[in-house]
Structure 1
Amino acid sequence: MKTISSVVEQYIKKKPFLQSALAQGIINLTSLSRIVKPEIEEALGKDVRNGAIVMALKRLSDDMEFRATHKIVKVLKNIGEITVRSSLTDYTFLVSDTILVQQAKLLEEINQNQDVFFTSSRGVNELNIVVSNTVDQTVERLFNAEKQTQKAENLSSITVKLPAENVSVPGIYYFIFQRLAWEGIVLYEVISTTNEFTILVNDEQVDVAFKTIKDLKTL
């Protein structure tokens, strides 16, 4: 049997930004109840008082604040080293039968230079390479026969070390990327390992992005 509480919860869960705002207590529940009332009444098939919706929202927001925010904030307070690298170039190539051979040659050439930044990821159809711009000519020489679909310059990377428990707490990445989105940060790439992730942003936005991530430790 449907109840006001269950229908309100399902409505909120379908709207991630609204769910987060409720958990932070920054929404006027009375105003929100008036907005959602028609959909709640339609789902229940009967008239519903605004006060009943407000009470359901209040219980839900209190519960969400504990369940969603408490565990996430605990993890974010233990964020480790945050490393920033600048002057990077982002290349995207179509996957081919020869592209991994060229990538191996690139690694061989830059392996002895510890100052060179390199990271790569491969999808179904594309291969992405991010390198220090000092080796741009090397990349373009080795991958000359490959199909390049994109090249972005003047980028910076921010690499974040996460505590090991990040893999068992849902919502960690959503929480981080939500705040970056609120600051208008454009993410060129997101590359991750088990306990570490790297974002690639425009040089002009790196300071704001770094501060946004660093401030998560003081939530």
Structure 2
Amino acid sequence: MRTIASCVEEILLAQPFLEEAISRNIVNYSALANELVDPITEMLRKPVKSGAIMMALRRYSPPKDLGNSVRLKRVLNNLGDITVRSNLSNYTYKNSTTLFESHAKVINKIGDKSNIFYAFTRGIHESNIVISSSEQNHIDAIFINEQQIGLQNHLSAISINLPADNTKIAGLYYQIFKRLAWEGITLYEVVSTTNEFTVLVEEGYVNKAFSAIKRLHS
């Protein structure tokens, strides 16, 4: 049977920023309880009082704060180099039996040119190519027979080198995404390898995103 406490927990779990604010004791419980009267009344299908909700909020025990994890803090303080690459384009193509052949042609074309940014991601139904915009003519020619779903220009990539044990640290990506979300930064694409994490943003956000990621060290 649903209770006020279970409704409060359900709402907080769906809003991690709010849950974190409660764990840091920076929430006005009385004001929040008043805000939750209507949704909890609807969930329980009976009138509830803000005082009962406030009591449930004060008794709520959020999961252990990942931000206070010693191991997580150590990893965040030891993030490697942060590299920014601008003037990138993102192509999206429908998967086909010939898409990998086209992909191979691109690899042969760019070879080992270190000045060219290139990332290829294959999903179930579509694939993405992120590449330096200077190579657009080559991409257009090579993929001319593929079904293009989307194209976005004027993107920048911010790549972060992660410590070797990053895969054993719970909450690492959450901390990165949380910081970017708090800053109102929209991510256009995310690409990662075992020890490297890259976010793509529109060029207008790159300085703000770079600063937000740098502050993860603090």
For 1:112 and 1:15, the matched residues in 2 are separated by 45
| Structure-1 separation of matches of 2:33 and 2:50 | 9
Any conservation in 1 of the 2:4–2:56 contact (CA below 8 Å)?
A: yes
What percentage of residue pairs aligned between the two structures are identical?
41
Mapping of residues 104-119 of structure 1, within 5 Å: 104-119=104-119
CA contact (8 A) 1:79 1:163 kept: yes
Match of 1:68 in 2: 66
Whether the 8 Å contact between 1:94 and 1:125 is mirrored in structure 2 is yes
Unaligned runs of 5+ in 2: none
Which range is displaced more, 71-80 or 179-188? Answer: 71-80
Match of 1:17?
17
Deviation of 1:3 after TM superposition, in Å, equals 7.9
- May I ask how many residue pairs the two structures share in their alignment? 215
Q: How much does 1:13 deviate?
A: 1.8
- Deviation string for 1:71-125 (max 9, x for gaps)? 2444322222211101111111111111101101110111131211111101011
Q: Once the 2 structures are TM-superposed, how far is the Cα of residue 4 of structure 1 from its aligned partner?
A: 6.7
Relative to structure 1, is the Cα distance of residues 4 and 96 closer, same or farther in structure 2, using a 3 angstrom cutoff?
A: closer
- Measure the CA separation in 2 of the matches of 1:206 and 1:14: 29
One-letter amino acid of the structure 2 residue matched with residue 170 of structure 1: A
SS, match of residue 158 in structure 1: strand
Contact 2:7–2:43 (CA under 8 A) maintained in structure 1: no
CA deviations over 1:133-161 (Å, ceiling 9, x no partner)? 12111111111111111111111100112
Contact 2:30 2:50 in 1 (8 A): no
Shift of 1:165: 4.0
Unpaired segments of 5 or more residues in structure 1?
Answer: none
Contact conserved, 1:192 with 1:198, CA < 8 A, in 2?
Answer: yes
Q: What TM-score do you get using the length of structure 2 for normalisation?
A: 0.83
1:144-163 aligned at under 5 Å gives the runs 144-163=144-163
Moved more, 28-37 or 181-190: 28-37
Equivalent-residue separation in structure 2 for 1:42 and 1:88 (angstroms): 47
Compute the RMSD of aligned alpha carbons. Answer: 2.8
Q: How many angstroms apart in 1 are the aligned matches of 2:183 and 2:134?
A: 30
Partners of 1:42 and 1:187 lie apart in 2 by 33
* Structure 1 residue 10 displacement after superposition: 4.2
Q: Give the conservation status (yes or no) of the 8 Å contact 2:67–2:175.
A: no
CA distance in 2, matches of 1:154, 1:42: 45
